[in-house]
A = this chain, B = another copy of it.
Amino acid sequence: MRLHTYFRSSASYRVRIGLEWKGIPREDVFVDLASGEQLGEAYRAENPECRVPLLVDGQIRLTQALAILEYLEEKYPEPPLLPADLAGRARVRQLALVIIADTQPLQNTGPYEFLRDPLGLDDRARFRWYQHWVSRGLGALEAHLADDPRTGHFCHGDTPTLADLAMVPQCSNARRGAIELGQWPTVSRIYESCIELQQFQRAAPEAQPDAKP
């Protein structure tokens, strides 16, 4: 499998954890989002969304981290990243989408840049935006996790699921943005559990060959 990736992309990070969890070897193709490589003609021909990750598996070409992870789960069911029961799978997808649909897109590089140019907002206003949406998303996740007996050592039970793969890159991002994770104690506790695992460590931004200081 070939993964078009960027070390700091949250969506790439999610897919990297999934591949590491399932022990699937990959060949990385690095796309330098910092220099705008994703917007050039060469990458646009690969992926018209001009985003990473892009997974190429033989004839199959896939974008969108959650679609890629569902594909990997179906093709390589073991070790699983979704629970065995219907209600559990639904809960895990719900938790993942709180981040993937309602949080991460709002604070992604593209929108964050657009607030500056062309919309003309200064860094203070932009940080207010960033902080608001990240806090709202992680706060909603905390509320879902805190009082539910299905929450365990991880978001759902005692092994990681797609919910943890969605949450961890958002937490790393929040910490980089000087947002205190401790205000969401369950999120914070689960984040610490995840980043102790070698699969999460190998997938982390700082462990990638294209990482920059």
Residues of A within 8 A of B (CB): 48-51, 59-60, 62-64, 66-68, 70-71, 74-75, 86-87, 89-91, 93-94, 96-98, 100-102, 104-106, 111, 114, 118-121, 125, 128-129, 132-133, 139-140, 143-144
Q: How far is the CB of A102 from chain B (nearest CB, A)?
A: 6
The answer for the CA separation of A155 and B100 in the assembled complex, in Å, is 22
Q: How far is the CB of A65 from chain B (nearest CB, A)?
A: 8
Contact B62 A94 (CB under 8 A): yes
* A-B pairs, 10 with minimum CB distance: A48-B143, A67-B93, A64-B97, A67-B94, A71-B90, A49-B140, A64-B94, A105-B105, A101-B101, A60-B87
From A90, which residue of chain B is reached at the shortest CB distance? B71
Assembly stoichiometry (copies) = 2
Q: A64-B97, A90-B70, A100-B101 are contacts. A128–B132 as well, Cβ < 8 Å? A: no
The answer for the CA separation of A62 and B92 in the assembled complex, in Å, is 10
Contacts of A62 in B (CB 8 A): 90-91, 94
Sample (22) of A-B pairs whose CB atoms are under 8 Å apart:
A48-B143, A49-B98, A51-B102, A60-B90, A62-B90, A62-B91, A62-B94, A64-B93, A64-B98, A66-B93, A66-B97, A67-B97, A68-B90, A71-B86, A71-B89, A71-B93, A74-B86, A74-B90, A75-B86, A114-B132, A119-B125, A120-B125
